[in-house]
Amino acid sequence: MSPLTRRLLPLHAGVALQGFVLWYPVEKLFMTEIGFDAASVGVMAAAYAAVVPLFEVPSGVLADRWSRRGVLVVASVALAVCSLVGGLSTNVPTYIAGVLALGLYFAMYSGTLDAIVYDTVLEETGGSGDFERRLGRVRFVESVALVGSSLAGGVLAGLLDARATYFVTIPFSLVSIACYLRFREPTLHRAEVRTPLRAHLATTFRAAHRRLVPVIALAVLAAVLTQVVFEFGPLWLVALGVPAVLYGPYWAGLMSTLGIGGLLVGQLARPSRLAGAGVVLTGALVVLGVSHDFVVVTAAQVVAALVLVAVGIHASRLVNDAIPSTVRAGVTSGVSSLSWLVFLPFSLLFGVVSDASGVHRAAWLLVGVAAAVALLLVALRRVAPAAEGGGDDEGDADGERDREHHREPAAVDQ
């Protein structure tokens, strides 16, 4: 076992436990039981999507200035709180109040995880060349946990009820904290001289310079589509009248794309295949607009999710290669925050169209976004990932310090 693999093991364990969410596969079923319809599902999605941007950039700055490991611990606590309130909910307003904690979880988890994996790879190997593969493995671990919890959640809901899945999830979220605390986080982001907060924020926003705009646009649109597929995908099953017993296997198949897509990213990221990925994505979402068959719809969602996961990891690599470690979590959290800001109105629009005309009509909104992703993939296929971590323009000096720093990795836990 390589030193990098050994070092990442506690992180893998924490991600696996945090990803064991038993209520995910039956959430929409539970929500309909307590009074939700398609429009109120859109309101719920918009509610936690509104919370994420409020905390995303601050969480990234906190991770850069305090502890990325500590921010992941806060994410686990937020997920446990969400599960508790969700399980206690008996009406729409209470449930929506509970998912606000889910928004905090997403804000703390998303950009921080990418940054911590990137800097660990950079610190251990001296370059970012292994980042996509290592992040793909983290996604695979997360996917295995989600698939396992999807199957177990469906069984548990059948034996007891959907509400029980929320309460049984809580211990897994709390145990993940112990795993994160055992992880030795990288120290590249800790500047030798602590800059004032105002200067740190200015550097964070300057890092998202003009040449990164197409890459950020790709990352944002891919994230929005991914969230829509996972958030609203089960509504196709509701519309088709699929029995509850099939929700578990369906969700397990969808969750498996997080891992498989992560493992396939190395193949997809080749310039000659990026354009083809965009065509496949667009075609899969067209199927959602015309098919009324459960198997075909499930297959189309799985294919779309596979491509989107791989595209998201590739875009993350391009963003991380262009920024220094001292502001990495802040910038990546900012990109994620922008994704949620776009997802918020889009989820409301999708919910309204779905409620008025059905999910099949609403699917054409996704096709339009997928076409934009395909065009960006074509435009960016000649952008080669950097061999080393760091940044260009104003990030060059910090990038050089990153490459010097990795030669002397920290020997003790922080």
DSSP codes, 210-244:
GGGHHHHHHHHHHHHHHHHHHHHTHHHHHHHT--G
Q: Among all chains, which residue has been given the structure tokens 């946990």? A: 145
Q: 35 vs 38, 66, 94, 237, 376, CA distance in Å?
A: 10, 42, 11, 17, 40
Integer Cα distance of 198 and 34 in angstroms: 46
| Over residues 211-233, mean pLDDT | 86
pLDDT of residue 48: 75
Can you count the helices (H) and strands (E) in the chain? 16, 0
Which two tokens mark 128?
Answer: 């970012």
Q: Is residue 16 part of a domain?
A: yes
Which two tokens mark 139?
Answer: 């996604």
pLDDT of residue 325: 65
Residue 298: pLDDT band (50, 70, 90) is very high
pLDDT of residue 408: 37
Which two tokens mark 207?
Answer: 């890092």
Q: Is residue 410 part of a domain?
A: no
**53, pLDDT greater than 70:** yes
CATH of residue 14: 1.20.1250.20
pLDDT of residue 209: 56
Which two tokens mark 375?
Answer: 């065009």
| Over residues 38-42, mean pLDDT | 79
Q: Is residue 413 part of a domain?
A: no
Q: Is residue 56 part of a domain?
A: yes
pTM (2 d.p.): 0.66
Q: Tens digits of per-residue pLDDT, 147-164?
A: 888 889 888 988 888 899
pLDDT of residue 129: 75
Which two tokens mark 162?
Answer: 């959907």
Treating both helix axes as pointing N-terminal to C-terminal, what angle do 92-125 and 396-405 enclose, rounded to 10 degrees? 70
For the chain, what is the domain count? Answer: 1
**380, pLDDT greater than 90:** no
Which two tokens mark 394?
Answer: 């104003």
**194, pLDDT greater than 80:** no
Integer Cα distance of 48 and 141 in angstroms: 25
One-letter amino acid identity for 87?
A: G
**197, pLDDT greater than 70:** no
Instruction: Name the helix (H) or strand (E) containing 182.
Output: helix 162-182
CA neighbor of 60 nearest in space, from 329, 365, 369: 329
| Over residues 155-184, mean pLDDT | 93
CA neighbor of 399 nearest in space, from 151, 109, 203, 173: 203
pLDDT of residue 389: 42
Residue 369: pLDDT band (50, 70, 90) is very high
Q: Is residue 313 part of a domain?
A: yes
Q: Tens digits of per-residue pLDDT, 347-357?
A: 889 888 988 88
Q: Is residue 414 part of a domain?
A: no
CA neighbor of 169 nearest in space, from 202, 201, 146, 186: 146
Higher pLDDT, 288 or 64: 288
Integer Cα distance of 110 and 48 in angstroms: 14
Q: Is residue 412 part of a domain?
A: no
% pLDDT > 90, the chain: 26
pLDDT of residue 266: 65
Choose the weakest-confidence range: 111-115, 328-332, 408-412.
Answer: 408-412
| Over residues 173-190, mean pLDDT | 86
Query: Phi, psi (5° rounding) for residue 89?
Result: -70, 140
Integer Cα distance of 278 and 373 in angstroms: 7
Integer Cα distance of 134 and 208 in angstroms: 24
Q: Is residue 195 part of a domain?
A: no
Which residue range(s) make up the domain with 326?
Answer: 3-189+203-405
Average pLDDT, the chain: 80
pLDDT of residue 210: 55
Integer Cα distance of 351 and 29 in angstroms: 16
Choose the weakest-confidence range: 105-119, 129-143, 196-210, 336-350.
Answer: 196-210
Residue 265: pLDDT band (50, 70, 90) is low
